[in-house]
Amino acid sequence: DFHIDMIFGVVDHKVALIYPGFLDYQMFKWLKDRDFKLIEVPAEEHFKYAPANLVVVEPGRVIMARGAKETIKRVRKAGVEVLEFDTSGLQVGTNGIRCVTLPLIRDPGPSLGG
């Protein structure tokens, strides 16, 4: 078993990081139908660093596992700021950054209307 946050993470408005090897086709289609830009995590980085398991500081700014160099490069190319964090002491089994943090308390930001 695995949690969705091990294979999917929204990094900015309409931009998501995915590991396609485990992503359900219906979810993939749902994202594409809504014009999400999808950034793929390479298999070797998925299994070693779980880079989709990240912390969103704010849209367009995330904290990711430092070792996932190719994934970080792809995320930055999409215009997202990546803060790299050394997870070598945290990753035991299938844990990632999001799994070992508590929720961030933040300013609610602007209202989306309604």
Distance between CA atoms of residues 52 and 50, nearest Å: 6
Q: Which two tokens stand for residue 63?
A: 């904290």
Residue 54: other Cβ atoms inside 10 A: 26
Read off the amino acid at residue 41.
V
Q: Which domains does the chain have, with CATH numbers?
A: 4-100 (3.75.10.10)
Give backbone dihedrals phi and psi of 55, rounded to 5 degrees, phi first.
-115, 125
Per residue of the chain (114 residues), what is the pLDDT tens digit? Answer: 568 888 999 999 999 999 999 999 999 999 999 999 999 999 999 999 999 999 999 999 999 999 999 999 999 999 999 999 988 877 555 667 887 776 767 777 776 665
